[in-house]
Amino acid sequence: MEILDYLIIAVYFAASLLIALYYSKRAGKNTDEFFLSGRNLPWYLAGLSLVATTFAADTPLAVTELVAKNGISGNWVWWNFAFGGMLTVFFFARLWRRAGIMTEAEFAEIRYSGKSASFLRGFRAVYLGLFMNIIIMGWVNKAMTSILTGFFGIEESIVIYYVFGAMIFVALYSALSGLWGVVVTDAFQFFMAMGGSIILAVLVINSPQINGIEGLQSKLPEFIFDFFPTISSEADASSYGTAFALTLTSFLAYIGIQWWASWYPGAEPGGGGYTAQRMMSAKDEKHSLFATLFFQVAHYAIRPWPWILVGIASLVIYPELSYSEKGLGYIYAMRDFLPVGLKGLMIAAFFAAYMSTIATHLNWGTSYLLNDLYRRFYSVGRDENHYVLASRAITILLMIVSVIVTLFINRISGAWEFILQCGAGLGLVLILRWFWWRINAWSEISAMITPFVVYPFMLLFDIKFPESLFYLTGVTTLVWLTVTFLTKPVNDNKLKEFYKKVYPGGILWKKISDQLPEIKTNTAFAGMFLSWFMGVVLVYSSLFAIGSLLFMNYTETIIYTLLAVISLFVIYKLLSKQDWSIIN
């Protein structure tokens, strides 16, 4: 890299710091400003922030690896989450905003009663805010280290200090600016990261080695460009030269189970984590719904195509890469095809993707540790200045712990599958807790613990992912249902308070709604289900319309575009008829 490249990187860091300084005074007012932007985020900022957060430094590499190994259809491993994402949009976005809480963990004490509710709140604060959070940040740190090592050819033992330096920088601006600074910086970082990805894709596809889209198509088998996997009796997705083949069992696991049964950060069934944080930060219920809808469309339909193109091209340009090294094709393309200036821009873009993810996880994790542990159990009744100061201190401490954890992470492969399996079966509880009065705190606790107990048996009997989801989800569901009916229900007064506050509606609340005839109940479930279905059609038709256009399949482009337009129109009409009279 040349001086211009380093100058561009320096300008990026300076701009991020200026944004943080600008919002530091506002974030210092109170914890509501620090963690929820005063509940005043417009939908486009909240949605952009979610897209930027899920654009981690390792994401382009992971997509490149999927495409290089299995063709475009390999992305169904994560595309299937759009089903759950759209469920969150139309069933849960308004409820999260209406709940008026600061964190998902706090939900436990507005929905459940007794000591079990308090225990669940504290347990989720530690389990999600600390344990899961530092593991996620650790693997993001590890991925960024691998990127810089591959790009610069420097020893990992040296590069890791640069990554830690970047993390210290992120922790400082997150501690200063709170969620407002994180969100505005996210928007800036997203456009930078997306712009860099598009530029790289254009340069690689138009290089002499590829010679345009037609040249790319002429150099590779047709199956590489298929949008849908082959369903076969025996999958053979591991060898190059065959399409991404799924057994019927695997396909059903992805499409029929994973999206609603497994907890995964950013794709939690029913919302949760930093997704819920953005929904609760929105101006009102409309902004909450539109922010989540925008996120789903941008996340699944728009963002991945530059990565997919580079991933396919890497098969032609770097055929010598082994099966386990396919993801490195993206890094090598950056190194080999970007001119002076653009190299600096792309490295800055990767830092932007990395920092956006880390900033959100620091702010989100701190919100749990402060609101649901420190303020709830250890330091009750202090003034807001004290809690803001404590929040900033916890942010720095969380950063230090994640740095230590990073030093002990040797590999990140399989991390996605591990988290999906250890959260299998929990998803249905997270969905039903809003719509069935009988769910109690022990339902959630048992659903969180059971997968960890059953998972070792999957290893013992060599049951691989995703087939393991059937067993994990089945056993976990059986356990939490049994626990639910063997333990006392939440007392009626707590259930009535929740119902009056959130208005969930539905037949599974009939026991409570019959006692509250004065409360206007939600009867629009048919429209919500239709909106969900149309939302799924919108995402996939938009995704495939863009892909068909890129690969010059114009008939398919027209068909998919018409489907997208029709589904968008139906969603618009359904939302226009929706009762927005209960808006917080």
Q: What is the pLDDT of residues 443-475, one digit of tens each?
A: 999 999 999 999 999 999 999 888 899 999 999
Question: Which among 57-66, 143-152, 526-535 has the top mean pLDDT?
Answer: 526-535
| Domain presence at residue 465 | no
| Domain presence at residue 19 | yes
| pLDDT tens digits, 189-247 | 888 888 989 999 999 999 999 999 999 999 998 888 999 887 765 544 444 444 455 66
| Domain presence at residue 222 | yes
SS3 (DSSP) at 41: strand
- The number of folded domains in the chain is 1
- What is the pLDDT at residue 242? 45
CA 387/CA 64 separation, integer angstroms = 43
- What is the pLDDT at residue 183? 92
Per-residue pLDDT band for 582 (boundaries 50, 70, 90) equals low
Supply the DSSP symbol for 254: I
CA 392/CA 27 separation, integer angstroms = 10
The CA–CA distances, whole Å, from 62 to 239, 311, 460 equal 18, 10, 28
| pLDDT tens digits, 38-92 | 899 999 999 999 998 888 777 888 888 888 878 898 898 889 999 999 999 999 9
Residue 429 token pair: 């509880």
Percent of the chain residues past pLDDT 90, beyond the cut: 55
Listed range (254-268, 409-423, 562-576) with the worst mean pLDDT: 409-423
- What is the pLDDT at residue 163? 87
Residue 556 token pair: 């398919």
- As a whole number, mean pLDDT of residues 4-32 equals 87
Domain that holds residue 186: 8-246+284-411
Q: Is the peptide bond before 466 cis (omega within 30 degrees of 0)?
A: yes
Q: In CATH, what number is assigned to the domain containing residue 77?
A: 1.20.1730.10
Task: State the amino acid at position 447 in one-letter form.
Answer: A
| Domain presence at residue 228 | yes
- What is the pLDDT at residue 236? 46
| Dihedral, 269, 256, 529, 480 alpha carbons, nearest 10 | -50
**Does residue 315 surpass a pLDDT of 60?**
yes
Q: Which helix (H) or strand (E) holds 149?
A: helix 133-152
**SS3 letters across 42-104:** CHHHHHHHHHHHCCCCCHHHHHHHHHHHHCHHHHHHHHCCHHHHHHHHHHHHHHHHHHCCCCC
| Domain presence at residue 85 | yes
CA 60/CA 363 separation, integer angstroms = 24
- What is the pLDDT at residue 483? 98
Q: How far is CA 554 from the centre of its chain?
A: 32
